[in-house]
Amino acid sequence: MEVVRSQRKSSVPNDAVSTLPLYRSAPPLEVRLEDFEFYAIDRLRVLKGISDGLSRGKKPDEMEKLVYDLWKENMRHPQASEVANKDIISHFVLRLVYCRTEELRKWFLSMETTLFRHRFLHENPEVQKALFAEFDLPYKAVSRAEYETVKDMLSQVARSIGQSTDVIFYKVPFEEVPELVAGRRVFIQEGNAYIAMSQVVSLVVTQFRSHLSKALVLTNRKWTSMIREQEKDRLTPIIEALSTSYLGPDYSQPTKHTDISLKDIDQIAKSSFPLCMHHLFGKLREDHHLKHGGRMQLGLFLKGMGLKLDDALAFWKAEFSPKVVAERFDKEYAYSIRHNYGKEGKRTDYTPYSCQKIISSTPGVGDHHGCPYRHFSEENLRAALTRMGVGNQAVEDVLGKVRNRHYQLACTLTFEAVHGSSCDAGINHPNQYYNDSRKILESPNNSSNP
């Protein structure tokens, strides 16, 4: 891979080299197609980790550690010289991915801005000052003479933010630092806010966010008018798939919890099924039938649990028997079950659906698949959670996350309420929910081991 860097001269001095690019323009580059995708996926792991941390209400110091750990873990490269290239390439690939709708742009803008803020704060003061200069902001440090006229007030500000009283202050229009004004962390006089050097991050982040917001709109125009059609056979399928990518295990091969007996399914469903599968299983028992979407979602989940093909055929045949005679079942339904196990058609070994895929589905009338946290009414969701044994306060917490469209976090809170155990990794897959549940319930220290 060869990356040709921009010829723009940097104002960062030699002894204060920054590892934080401003992503003002994509440099001309050649990148292998597999790196194009892999770099983007690695950065997406960082952004989704940040999103999860913010959704879970992590404190600033916890977020600082989280962002540092996520970046260190995912943005490495075997060749140290390529780390910066991976950073730049991954950003511009995801800019293509997330420029395509207003909702995608909003999420990407928020996560990239949060990432930039934490990386800026991690730089040393000299680099921060140099990066500030990169934005060409029309602000100058407060002169010594002016400082003397407001010295007492600025000293109070410095002490309140834990700074020494001899720090450099900048004077800027107060409307350009709304978060500092709201937090009462600046001195305001005649429409200007006096901000300490340590608070410059607010100005820099505002400028970064503004530039990226405009760039995403422009990228969308290029994508719609030119790139999507030109790259329809090569890049477009990758770009369109990345925003809904599931980044964890595919659960195509069952884990150690593979000893699934048909006689145990009822008890396991009650104790270890996530709400989406709990609902499907209940409807199957109630109606003795599920439409295609429901059969696929539940059937592949059971396969991922470790249900063997012969047992799967027996299970579905028995469940359908009150409404579907054996001959009709063998003719109309058995083929699709064998197909899911890779025994028919193209012999594809299908994988269980991830949360992302389930959330993005669109159930129709009479369908029972999909994500209850997204597709249920609040009243129905409240009732379903209560039936699972979720307490009143936990139900309210779950509903709060649902109202903010944090569906996977709502499922995580449900898991924690049902099992009385934290799930710091979050729930990203129904089979992960099941596996984690079995680990807890089968622990020697768990008295409720079913």
Beta strands in 23-89 (DSSP E): 29-30
Give me the residue label for tokens 């409404």: 323
Q: Among candidates 390, 385, 389, 387, which has minimal Cα distance to 372?
A: 385
Q: Record the tokens describing residue 351, joined without a space.
A: 């994988």
Q: Residues 196, 204, 107, 301: what is their CA dihedral angle, to the nearest 10 degrees? A: -70
Q: How far is the CA of 193 from the CAs of 135, 174, 176, 421, in angstroms? A: 19, 5, 9, 47
423 is in an annotated binding site: no
Q: Got the DSSP string for 350-386?
A: PPPPPHHHHHT----TT---S-HHHHS-HHHHHHHHH
Return the structure tokens found at 247.
């980044």
* Stretch (H or E) spanning 163: none
How, if at all, do strands 192-196 and 2-3 pair?
Answer: unpaired
Distance of CA 208 to the CA centre of its chain: 21
Burial environment of residue 166 by CB neighbours within 10 A (0 to 12, 13 to 18, 19 or more) = exposed
Q: Does residue 99 have a known ligand-binding role?
A: no
Here the tokens at position 119 are 């990386």
Q: Give the pairing of strands 187-189 and 29-30.
A: unpaired
Q: Are 33 and 234 in contact (CB under 8 A)?
A: yes
> Tokens 């669109």 label which residue?
362
Residue 162: CB atoms within 10 Å = 7
3-state secondary structure 99-138: CCCHHHHHHHHHHHHHHHHHHHHHCCHHHHHHHHHHCCCC
Helix-strand-coil split of the chain, %, nearest 5: 60, 5, 35
Which residue type sits at 166? D
Q: Are 284 and 290 in contact (CB under 8 A)?
A: yes
Count of C-beta atoms within a 10 Å radius of residue 99? 22
DSSP-based three-state secondary structure for 300? helix
Between the alpha carbon of residue 135 and those of residues 87, 155, 201, 211, 390, the distances in Å are: 20, 28, 12, 10, 51
Summarize the annotated binding site as residue ranges. Answer: 276, 355, 371, 411
Summarize the annotated binding site for [4Fe-4S] cluster as residue ranges. Answer: 276, 355, 371, 411
